[in-house]
């Protein structure tokens, strides 16, 4: 088919930090029109569905500045430069909850917001095994571990308590091995 991609003529960075950047692109559309388009650059992050041998899922409650609120989510965190996403998932799980990841399995990887951000989410599930050496939180992290039955977590998706897209997607994929969703695996 005919390519209808946009032509990027310029790129102006308004903000850069180790965690994200914001730029405004000067773009020419296929029809010839010029527009500006704001893009958030954000590195990948890994999130993991940790299931204990008691069939509980281990979630974290933390402050999310963009929402001005606390959320209940999968353990997750940024993938460091040169790090494998699976390693990041295991590391974040241990640091945030004190559980070790065993039998880590990749569920899927998605772009969180294709219209506005470069961000990628790498989703995993694992068996969560208690390790008394953890957790190890960063000085800037204030995280409460919330362990609950898998079915209770799915109900919190259903009733709107859990709204983080990565957490919703991870719980659905991890909880449905033998269902239609299992076709993803």
CB–CB of 144/62 below 8 Å? yes
C-beta of 128: minimal distance to a copy of itself in Å?
A: 20
Report the distance separating Cα 69 and Cα 76, nearest Å. 17
Distance CA 4, CA 30 (A): 6
Asked if 68 touches a copy of itself (CB under 8 A), the answer is: yes
Helices marked H in 73-122: 85-97
Cα 182 from Cα 163, distance rounded (Å): 22
Site for a copy of itself in 101-140 (CB under 8 A): 108-119, 121, 139-140
For the CB of residue 64, give the shortest distance to a copy of itself in the complex, in Å.
Answer: 5
Q: Show contacts with a copy of itself in window 48-67 (CB under 8 A).
A: 63-67
**Smallest gap from residue 44 Cβ to a copy of itself (A):** 12
Among 24, 104, 145, 148, the residue binding a copy of itself under the rule CB under 8 A is 24
């Amino acid at each position: 088919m005919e390519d209808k991609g946009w032509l990027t003529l310029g790129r102006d960075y308004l903000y850069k930090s180790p965690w994200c950047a914001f730029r405004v692109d000067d773009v020419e559309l296929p029809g010839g029109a010029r527009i500006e388009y704001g893009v958030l650059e954000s590195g990948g992050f890994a999130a993991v569905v940790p299931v204990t041998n008691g069939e509980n899922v281990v979630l974290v409650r933390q402050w999310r500045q963009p929402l001005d609120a606390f959320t209940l989510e999968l353990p997750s965190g940024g993938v460091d430069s040169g790090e494998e996403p699976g390693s990041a998932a295991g590391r974040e799980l241990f640091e945030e909850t004190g559980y070790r990841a065993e039998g880590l399995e990749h569920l899927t990887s998605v772009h969180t917001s294709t219209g506005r951000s470069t961000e990628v989410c790498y989703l995993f599930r694992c068996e969560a095994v208690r390790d008394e050496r953890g957790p190890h939180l960063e000085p800037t992290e204030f995280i409460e571990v919330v362990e609950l039955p898998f079915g209770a977590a799915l109900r919190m998706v259903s009733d709107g308590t859990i709204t983080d897209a990565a957490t919703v997607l991870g719980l659905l994929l991890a909880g449905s091995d033998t269902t239609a969703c299992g076709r993803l695996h």
